[in-house]
């Protein structure tokens, strides 16, 4: 290793270590002081309903289309259902199938910013299994002209380099680049830590208030001249808690000696929790690229209709899922594909398909107009070809079409090809 390479490698490692513990603003709570994957999972996913709902909507939608292998011939390529990589994707390891592999992968990306597949392979380079890992288990080794020189795995003895002769690492990044460490992505929840903490505090406050029979904090006020010293106040507080707190809450309190109870703070109506929760919910959903209405958040369901739910689903697919699918397919093709193309079967995505009645109308119009062959019409509707189906109903050269664009759209409809069992 040359001196220049050593200096570059050492500088990259120093920058990675310096950026590992960022300086956060004053509002940052202890849960996000060190944004490790464990902390992000514990405080940002397991204890936050908004994050959990968004991640749930994202994972199930992301796993909808299968990741297929195609012959490397561009859009004209053929699906290779029996290719070794396709078989591996269908059954990546003994504990999970393709759907579960994809759900774990996108969840790890959304929460920690980075997700990894580690592929075990034989001495001949044949991959036998794919296992998903998160950013707390695998990390990059920065350095070199390509930014990284390898990967490390956190095992029983701490961080150890991964033998790239025995394993293949596929690195997936959430579309939220870390400008200080360009070889990896930044967790989406890191930028909305205040919103996550706000929703946690709101939920905790409401829970505590309901446990107290929705009675806000109270202060006991005594008439002037009847003040109590500190020991007397402590005794009174303990007696009051024993008589009217815990399982005895809601009992009837009897005050004497002119004592009066005054409410401290604001009640539920004054705090307007629904409006207060809407802002952080919107920020969290935006960071995770999920429409609030599809995650079942109150901010999205306030004005929910069938029309805007359908439109939100299409926008979610086109603006969030399609870029994520393309990014994942590109990484898989780069790391595991040789002489093949890897991309998702978008004909399996319900939100990208037109209404069944509309499709039949368009195909029927094109068929009756003589623009498409019988087998083309059958494929557009999901049916297998007929032996004598390469025929037109009429000669297209002798027919003027009222709407050529209608038929051209039909010709581009994806034909769903079922994968053999």
Q: Kind and range of the H or E element at 292?
A: helix 292-295
Cβ 102 vs Cβ 108: under 8 Å: no
In the numeric block, which tokens belong to residue 265? 């703070």
> What does 78-147 look like in DSSP terms, one character per residue?
PB-TTSHHHHHHHS-BTTB-HHHHHHHHHHHHHHHSEEEEEEEE-TTS-EEEEEEEETTTEEEEE-STTS
pTM score, whole prediction: 0.70
pLDDT (tens place) for every residue of the chain, 421 residues total: 443 333 333 333 433 443 343 433 333 344 444 568 888 888 888 888 999 999 999 999 999 999 999 887 655 567 888 899 999 999 999 999 999 999 999 999 999 999 999 999 887 878 899 999 999 999 998 887 778 888 999 888 889 999 888 899 999 999 888 888 888 888 888 888 888 888 888 888 777 767 665 555 666 666 666 666 778 777 777 777 776 665 555 555 666 666 666 665 555 555 666 677 788 889 999 999 999 999 888 777 777 777 788 888 889 999 999 999 999 999 999 988 878 889 898 877 888 776 666 778 888 888 888 888 888 888 777 677 788 888 887 655 544 444 444 444 444 444 556 666 6
The one-character DSSP state at 329 is: H
Q: What is the DSSP string of 239-265?
A: HHHHHHSGGGTTPPP---TT-EEEE-S
The tally of CA atoms less than 13 A away on the side-chain side of residue 205 is 17
* Interacting residues of 219 by C-beta distance below 8 A, sequence separation 6+: 261, 262, 263, 264
Q: How far is CA 279 from CA 49, 259, 282, 297, 398, in A?
A: 15, 41, 5, 11, 61
The pLDDT assigned to 413 comes to 43
Residue 156 structure tokens:
């029983």
* Cβ neighbours of 372 (radius 10 Å): 24
- Count Cβ atoms below 10 Å from residue 48 Cβ, excluding itself: 22
**Exposure string for 184-195, b = 16+ CB within 10 A, e = fewer:** bbbbbbbebbbb
Distance CA 86, CA 342 (A): 9
Predicted confidence at residue 235, as pLDDT, reads 75
pLDDT for residue 271 = 61
Asked whether the beta carbons of 314 and 293 are under 8 A apart, the reply is no
CA distance 14 to 250: 59
Maximum C-alpha span of the chain = 108
Distances (CA, A) of 259 to 220, 228, 236, 243: 7, 12, 12, 17
How far apart (Å, rounded) are the C-alpha atoms in residues 141 and 115?
A: 15
Q: Exposed, middle or buried, 2 (CB in 10 Å: 0-12/13-18/19+)?
A: exposed
Burial class of residue 401, CB neighbours in 10 A (0-12, 13-18, 19+): middle
What pLDDT sits at residue 166?
Answer: 86
CB crowding 299-322: b at 16 or more within 10 Å, else e = bbeeeeeeeeeeebbeebbeebbe
């Amino acid at each position: 290793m040359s001196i220049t390479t050593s200096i570059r490698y050492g500088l990259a490692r120093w920058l990675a270590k310096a950026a590992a513990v960022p300086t956060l603003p004053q509002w940052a709570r202890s849960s996000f002081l060190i944004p490790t994957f464990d902390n992000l999972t514990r405080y940002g996913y397991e204890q936050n309903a908004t994050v959990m709902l968004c991640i749930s909507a994202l994972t199930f939608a992301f796993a909808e289309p299968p990741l297929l292998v195609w012959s490397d011939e561009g859009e004209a390529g053929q699906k290779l259902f029996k290719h070794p990589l396709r078989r591996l994707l269908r059954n990546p390891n003994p504990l999970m199938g393709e759907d579960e592999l994809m759900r774990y992968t996108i969840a790890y990306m959304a929460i920690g910013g980075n997700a990894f597949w580690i592929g075990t392979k034989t001495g001949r380079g044949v991959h036998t299994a794919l296992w998903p890992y998160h950013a707390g288990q695998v990390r990059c080794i920065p350095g070199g002209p390509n930014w990284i020189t390898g990967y490390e795995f956190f095992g029983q003895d701490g961080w150890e380099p991964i033998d790239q002769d025995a394993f293949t690492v596929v690195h997936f990044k959430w579309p939220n680049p870390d400008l200080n460490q360009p070889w990896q992505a930044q967790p989406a929840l890191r930028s909305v830590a205040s919103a996550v903490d706000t929703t946690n505090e709101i939920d905790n406050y409401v829970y505590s208030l309901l446990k107290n029979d929705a009675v806000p904090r109270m202060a006991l006020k005594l008439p002037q001249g009847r003040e109590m010293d500190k020991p007397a106040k402590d005794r009174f507080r303990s007696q009051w808690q024993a008589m009217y707190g815990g399982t005895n809450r809601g009992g009837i309190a009897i005050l004497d000696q002119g004592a009066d109870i005054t409410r401290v703070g604001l009640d539920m109506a004054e705090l307007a929790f629904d409006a207060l929760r809407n802002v952080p919910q919107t920020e969290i959903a935006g960071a995770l690229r999920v429409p609030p209405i599809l995650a079942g958040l109150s901010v999205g369901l306030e004005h929910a209709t069938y029309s805007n739910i359908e439109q939100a689903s299409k926008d979610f697919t086109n603006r969030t899922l399609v870029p994520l699918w393309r990014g994942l397919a590109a990484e898989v093709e780069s790391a595991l594909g040789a002489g093949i193309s890897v991309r998702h079967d978008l004909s399996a995505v319900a939100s990208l398909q037109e209404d069944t009645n509309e499709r039949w109308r368009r195909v029927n119009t094109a068929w009756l107009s003589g623009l498409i062959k019988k087998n083309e019409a059958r494929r557009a509707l999901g049916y297998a070809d007929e032996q004598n189906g390469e025929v037109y109903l009429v000669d297209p050269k002798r027919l003027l079409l009222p709407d050529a664009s209608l038929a051209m759209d039909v010709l581009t409809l994806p034909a769903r090809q079922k994968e053999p069992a």
